[in-house]
């Protein structure tokens, strides 16, 4: 008997014997539900035998036989009623536990999100892909007729989604493309560091979604509930079904603020801020201007995160302001990094270390923020240094800039598209899904080992567009992605270390070194960040104009994950 926990109130297993009942009772279960009809298998004990043993140990029992592979809507409703009536925790069984997990999933469809249901059953080892449409439909069987069909469906209206839509339209204008995203506003997130440093105004980083979606692209203003890649279908909230010939997945990633205890309750007050939120970046600048003495903490969680340089960019711009104001000697700066290096590409580290020394900042490596108390102005870090036991340390602060932990969105992590870590599983060169040949992914949500930056998406969008169009024509992939990413490290107001690199940390500069030496802080790189990149983003990248982003052709032996 292998017991699998579905929720705090229910665990399930395959067929049990009367001898298993005592163990079930000893583990604290208070009721027993049988979902397997008697006589289904020749080696199967009858329910009466199980019930007799259960009553000896004070367990309440229910018999709800369900035919294998034929879980009806009314069966799920009945299971939900039983779960309301019996004492908890309950234990349910059938031949393998799958029927029990299915009944629970459908019975909870109006109470929990699709992602939460799929995550719970997946963690227990059960795949609910066959009933995901019913879950999305409140536990009821919908019709299989799609609500709409398109040549290409794009999930996500961020930098990657709009850029790839524009690149596709520029190559084949007659494509019927739908872009799915529930947001009203599109943000230029690379600008939030500049807002937090007092350089940009927040309004410079936001435009309405409707104003940016390319002409001729259908905008479906909805959230995605689940995928049915075997049927070329996407299930939206409310169980609307959208069919596709080809799918592009780029919804970005999830900022998991709740993973740090106490953080959500204290953001935006008590000196707790983050440039990773539009509404908080101005508060960062307010705190920086107001701090004259005390301790300032800047945190970075474990990888992967979007724009790995952003946490230290906030530190450099803040420290530069304090230096210019003459208060830097009175401020104790700490960069609390869950990782063990200042920056992942070693060629740029010497230039950054000079600024660490200039600002007198402390590098606290292997410090992972796990809890925060805003009113008390205290933060706690789990410190796990190599070959040393983990310890929890407390640090006080007057200001703390938090970079939140980050994961793939829930509906991605529980989908058939995800790898074991929850990211969309693609070939790192062609960005095509490894299992489903009519699916591509780009941006922060896919698992290629590149930096998650807007500059990366700018390079990826033409690659996906080229390869998708080639697929329509019956051709093999024609373009490959070299892992390019860019991180303009704002080391002081007016100077930037322009880090540009690809897979394996290979340097991939866009300009000759005599013009912009990326290993050194330059004013020209600052000009690029402040005045040139925003117009490129709004007027080129999101409009299918691929300046400095022409896709590289596939070589005889393209890079791969293997």
Angle at 362 between CA 359 and CA 368, to 5 degrees: 135
Contacts of 300 (CB under 8 A, 6+ apart): 308, 311, 312, 335, 336, 337, 338, 339, 403
What distance in Å separates the CA atoms of residue 288 and residue 457, rounded to the nearest whole number?
31
| Paired tokens of 177 | 């493309």
DSSP state of 327: -
What does the radius of gyration of the chain's CA atoms come to, in whole angstroms?
27
Contact 426, 556 (CB under 8 A): no
Phi, psi of 34 (to 5 degrees): -105, 120
Closest by Cα among 221, 215, 154, 155 to 184: 221
What distance in Å separates the CA atoms of residue 96 and residue 36, rounded to the nearest whole number?
10
Residue 536 burial by Cβ neighbours in a 10 Å radius (0-12, 13-18, 19+): middle
Angle at 546 between CA 542 and CA 551, to 5 degrees: 125
SS3 527: helix
Contact 484, 508 (CB under 8 A): yes
Closest by Cα among 400, 478, 408, 473 to 447: 408
Which amino acids are annotated catalytic?
307, 487
What distance in Å separates the CA atoms of residue 163 and residue 176, rounded to the nearest whole number?
16
What distance in Å separates the CA atoms of residue 371 and residue 520, rounded to the nearest whole number?
36
| Paired tokens of 84 | 């309301």
Task: List the beta bridge partners of residue 430.
Answer: none
What distance in Å separates the CA atoms of residue 296 and residue 400, rounded to the nearest whole number?
6
What distance in Å separates the CA atoms of residue 299 and residue 32, rounded to the nearest whole number?
48
SS3 491: strand
Contacts of 316 (CB under 8 A, 6+ apart): 355, 359, 489, 490, 491, 492
* Ramachandran region, residue 345 (left: φ > 0; alpha: ψ -120 to 50; beta: rest): beta
| Paired tokens of 299 | 């945190």
């Amino acid at each position: 008997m292998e017991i699998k926990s579905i929720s705090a109130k229910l665990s399930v297993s395959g067929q049990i014997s009367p001898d298993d009942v005592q163990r079930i009772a000893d583990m604290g279960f208070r009721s027993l539900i049988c979902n397997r009809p008697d006589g289904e298998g020749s080696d199967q004990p009858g329910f009466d035998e199980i019930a007799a043993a259960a009553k000896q140990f004070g367990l309440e029992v229910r018999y709800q036989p369900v035919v294998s592979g034929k879980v009806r809507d009314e069966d799920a409703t009945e299971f939900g009623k039983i779960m309301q009536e019996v004492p908890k925790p309950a234990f349910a069984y059938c031949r393998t536990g799958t029927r029990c997990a299915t009944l629970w999933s459908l019975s909870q469809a109006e109470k929990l999100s699709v992602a939460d249901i799929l995550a719970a059953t997946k963690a227990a080892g059960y795949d609910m892909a066959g009933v995901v449409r019913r879950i999305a439909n409140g536990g009821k069987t919908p019709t299989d007729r799609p609500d709409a069909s398109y040549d290409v469906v794009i999930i996500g209206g961020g930098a990657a989604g709009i850029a790839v839509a524009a690149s596709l339209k520029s190559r084949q204008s007659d494509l019927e493309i739908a872009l799915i995203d529930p947001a009203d506003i599109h943000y230029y997130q690379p600008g939030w560091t500049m807002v937090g440093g007092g350089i940009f105004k927040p309004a410079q980083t936001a435009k309405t979604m409707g104003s940016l979606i390319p002409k001729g692209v259908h905008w479906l203003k909805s959230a995605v509930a689940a995928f049915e890649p075997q049927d070329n279908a996407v299930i939206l909230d409310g169980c609307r079904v959208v069919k596709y010939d080809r799918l592009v997945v780029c919804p970005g990633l999830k900022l998991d603020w709740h993973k740090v205890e106490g953080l959500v309750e204290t953001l935006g007050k008590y000196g707790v801020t983050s440039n990773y939120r539009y509404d908080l970046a101005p508060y960062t600048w307010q705190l920086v201007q107001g701090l004259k003495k005390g301790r300032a903490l800047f945190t970075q969680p474990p990888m992967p995160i979007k724009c790995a340089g952003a946490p230290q960019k906030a530190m450099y711009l803040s420290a530069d302001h304090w230096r210019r104001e003459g208060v830097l000697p009175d401020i104790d700066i700490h960069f609390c990094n869950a990782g063990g290096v200042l920056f992942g590409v070693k060629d740029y580290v010497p230039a950054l270390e000079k600024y660490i020394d200039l600002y007198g900042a402390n590098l606290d490596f292997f410090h992972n923020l796990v809890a925060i108390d805003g009113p008390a102005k205290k933060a706690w870090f789990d410190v796990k240094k190599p070959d040393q036991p983990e310890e929890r340390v407390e640090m006080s602060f007057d200001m703390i800039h938090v970079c939140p932990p980050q994961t793939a969105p829930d509906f991605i992590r529980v989908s058939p598209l995800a790898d074991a870590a929850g990211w969309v599983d693609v070939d790192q060169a062609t960005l095509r899904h490894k299992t489903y040949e009519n699916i591509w992914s780009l941006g922060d949500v896919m698992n290629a080992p590149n930096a998650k930056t807007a500059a990366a998406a700018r390079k990826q969008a033409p690659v996906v567009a080229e390869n998708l169009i080639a697929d329509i024509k019956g051709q093999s992939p024609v373009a490959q992605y070299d892992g390019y990413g860019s991180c303009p490290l704002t080391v002081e107001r007016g100077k930037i270390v322009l880090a540009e690199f690809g897979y394996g940390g290979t340097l991939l500069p866009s300009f000759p070194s005599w013009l912009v030496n990326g290993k050194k802080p330059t004013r020209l790189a600052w000009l690029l960040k402040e005045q040139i990149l925003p117009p490129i983003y709004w007027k080129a990248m999101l409009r299918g104009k691929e300046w400095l982003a022409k896709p590289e052709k596939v070589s005889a032996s393209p890079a791969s994950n293997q």
